[in-house]
Amino acid sequence: MADFDVLLKARPEPGGLGLERRTLRRPGAGEVLVRVHRAAICGTDLHIVRWNAWAARTYKPPFALGHELSGEVVEAGETDAGFVPGDRVSAETHLECGECAQCLMGRGHTCLRLRTFGKMDQGAFAHFAVLPAPLLRRIPEGVSHKHACLMEPLGIAARAVRESAVGTGRLLITGCGPIGLLAVAAARAMGVDSISVIDPSAPRMALAVELGAVPLEGDGFDGAVDASGHPAAINDAMARVRPGGTVVVTGMPEEPIPIDIGRHTVLREVVLRGIYGRTLAATWSQVSDLLPKLGAALDRIVTHEFALRDYQQAFRVALSGTAGKVEFVMEDSR
């Protein structure tokens, strides 16, 4: 089998990245070999590259990086998932056991024996990846690899908007990184009337406005999505939603944060909840319906593209706090 490059978190320190040459292996039972066309840098990757306290508690290098991808099936092992060579696929991040109490409640994304793509050492920042067949999701007809690469994070954003219970009302989004920008695009497509945003980065604020949001003014929002994980932003969102409103947190705080539960959750009945990824069936169905409607928005959100060999520059851009989505292009296809 051919050799290929894969990007590793090689060492337990800030940075600590390196390319490794690996030999391609054939998929085993229940696995699928995917040729990666595109892969995107996500917030989790940035935590890992910064090697903050959360990443150091959660991961043990060396391991392959990246989990947001689009590609095509090269070969399927013995599986009943029905994938054949040439199928265009993206991938879920969470692999459920299907047997625990959470799975039996339809909550496979919080499975008690959950396995995550990021810990399988089969990273998407590579020309090939061997994946468990249950993680694969088909790309809707006519959707480019550039856009399909965003199916997984778009699922987080779309689910967050839905769980905020904003309906067609007023939505606040705190943090205009990639998830926040995708939440703006999703909310627009889902019929939200008014979307306000706040972020310290002027370029990201400008991009959010291009997508149909307005800079933050006032309060009394029907719902809020925090895509920053920053303590001040989460507390601000709690204060700015109306009594009975919902704040959904998608960003990962690096440390425990203080929140005035008495003022907001008790006296004003504000709901605070987090989401961990996508529901494994309903969210992907929603994303498949949304994706063909979001082409122009996704073209704006993908602000930078790099070859895998230029990974140092790609991460510098992604860590700058001014970019939208940063993608690696492994195959010359849109």
Residue 218's domain is classified under what CATH number?
3.40.50.720
In a shared domain, residues 149 and 181: no
CA distance 320 to 205: 14
Is the CB of residue 81 less than 8 Å from the CB of residue 121?
no
pLDDT tens column, 43-71 = 999 999 999 998 999 999 999 999 999 99
Whole-prediction pTM:
0.94
CA distance 145 to 231: 35
For residue 313, being part of any structural domain is answered with: yes
Q: Report CA Rg, the chain.
A: 19
Question: 215: domain range?
Answer: 156-274
pLDDT over 70 at 36, yes or no: yes
Question: Is 44 known to be catalytic?
Answer: yes
For residue 334, being part of any structural domain is answered with: no
In a shared domain, residues 69 and 127: yes
In a shared domain, residues 15 and 146: yes
In a shared domain, residues 180 and 257: yes
Kindly give the residue spans of alpha helices, DSSP state H, lying in 38-80.
43-50, 53-58
Q: What is the percent of the chain where pLDDT is above 90?
A: 91
Question: Is 246 known to be catalytic?
Answer: no
Domain boundary among 231, 253, 274: 274
pLDDT tens column, 302-330 = 999 999 999 999 999 999 999 999 999 99
pLDDT over 80 at 225, yes or no: yes
C-alpha distances in Å from residue 28, one per residue of 36, 69, 78, 116 = 18, 21, 7, 18
pLDDT tens column, 129-180 = 999 999 999 999 999 999 999 999 999 999 999 999 999 999 999 999 999 9
Of the candidates 23, 37, 44, 265, the residue annotated as catalytic is 44
In a shared domain, residues 29 and 169: no
Q: Identify the pLDDT of residue 1.
A: 60
Q: Helix 151-163 crosses helix 178-189 at what angle (to 10 degrees)? A: 60
Cα 79 to the chain's mean position, in Å? 27
In a shared domain, residues 37 and 141: yes
In DSSP notation, 123-135 reads -SSBSEEEEEGGG
For residue 304, being part of any structural domain is answered with: yes
Of the candidates 47, 127, 145, 147, the residue annotated as catalytic is 47
Tell me how many domains the chain contains.
Answer: 2
